[in-house]
Amino acid sequence: MENQITLRTLGRSDIRITPIGLGCWQFSKQGNLAGKYWPSLEDDLIRDVVRISLEGGINWFDTAEVYGKGASERALAKSLVALGKKPGDVVIATKWWPMFRTASNLLKTIDDRLAALDPFPIDLYQVHQPWGFSSEVAEMEAMAKLVQAGKIRQVGVSNFSAGKMRSAWETLRKSGISLVSNQVQYSLLQRKIETNGVLETAKELGITIIAYSPLAQGIVTGKFHDNPELLKNIGFRKHSSQFKPKGMEKSRPVAVLVQKLAATYKVTPAQVALNWLIHFSGETVVAIPGATKATHAAENTGAMKFRLSAADMHLLDEASKGYK
């Protein structure tokens, strides 16, 4: 295994991040409907997950306003402070929730986000969904004001189509600001960004793709194929077609190959899937797996410390082409 983790540039910015960050949705403490997707984690466990992530080399964390109505942001900041981290030691990304709001709300609520993350600044502020009452143009104009006011460092979006991403990039460019990221669902079992223009446009404009659900909610590891009893306790996910019998059979060949490669490299299936994701598209794609256990956090960091061969990445590409 390699020990050296090479940092990557976030879009066309001066921010350098590890290929894997920690997704923090699971720190929501069931604070709202979005938070109820996960069990309520105790502060000690959250701190352990953050500590092991840091010790394994991860230098950035992704959270959001809607994750427990600020509960995730507060839990993350509390853990970082308890671990002796100071502003500037880590990179913090969070997101504004646009539903039933206009772009002016970005300006009205930014101090709430800064208070939740206190004492840490917002290095990357993202529009969480393309669902607001304002256009992406108006939202980016508001984001530009936040950058100019020193409230945030860089601007990103999430779940934006290729067209909306380009429009956001063009709007920010008028203010001399770059759109640095688009956070989208991407995994071996969800490869639509490779065919709908999102990945191609990101590469053209120098925008980093931040992949969420990089393990397809655990399906790609094969654990549900090996032990179908686990499907009884997956909560809201049971309604997804991927977890239905037909979906599970479709993904089985990919999961089997992932497990086979894991044995070859003496790593875990999750680490194989993550390693493919952060290398298959060069340095364009980074990933934010979550972690509800300390072991998950250690597994995430280990995915950065080896590299699949080009031949094995090609095998995974071929096996999962049905998900493009």
Q: How far is residue 61's CA from residue 136's CA, in Å, rounded to a whole number?
A: 24
- Pick the closest to residue 91 from 181, 15, 168 (CA basis): 15
Our answer to whether residue 186 is catalytic in this structure is no
Catalytic residue, candidates 67, 125, 186, 323: 67
42 phi and psi angles, rounded to 5 deg: -70, 155
Distance of CA 206 to the CA centre of its chain: 18
The side-by-side arrangement of strands in the sheet containing 152-158 is 22-23, 60-62, 91-96, 122-127, 152-158, 179-185, 208-212, 285-287
Eight-class DSSP state of 147: H
What is the rounded radius of gyration, in angstroms, for the C-alpha atoms of the chain? Answer: 19
Burial of residue 145 (CB within 10 Å: 0-12, 13-18, 19+) is middle
Q: How far is residue 277's CA from residue 287's CA, in Å, rounded to a whole number?
A: 7
Q: Are the C-beta atoms of residues 17 and 57 closer than 8 Å to each other?
A: no
- Catalytic residue annotation: 67
